[in-house]
A = this chain, B = another copy of it.
């Protein structure tokens, strides 16, 4: 996805609405965004399920509270890599990861 489109999404606040809202996204781009959002949600759920604060999770990940917040908010500057590694760090299995995506 190019930067232009990202900024547009960012401006629109694509973290909150349903993915169907995002106009003029190619199917590939939409799928990619959906995947990221699904992982975001799951990350938050996993963290809450373990009764961890964002700060605590940040320590576990050797990251920062603000980045955790951005991960959970579906911020466009958060990579899939970081989301996936964070989920693994929380004990999510490959199988579960697959379930999230499918």
Q: In the assembly, what is the distance between CA of A27 and CA of B19, in Å?
A: 33
Q: State A78–B95 Cα separation when bound (angstroms).
A: 23
Pick from B79, B80, B97, B102: contact of A94, CB under 8 Å: B102
A95 adjacent to B89 (CB under 8 Å):
no
Give the chain B neighbours of A99 by CB distance below 8 A. 98, 102
Smallest Cβ-Cβ distance to A102: which chain B residue: B98
Chain B residue nearest to A78 in the complex (CB): B81
Q: Using Cβ atoms and an 8 Å threshold, which residues of chain B touch A97?
A: 35, 101-102
What residues make up the interface of A, taking CB atoms closer than 8 Å to B? Answer: 1, 27-28, 31-32, 34-35, 79-81, 84-85, 88-89, 93-95, 97-102
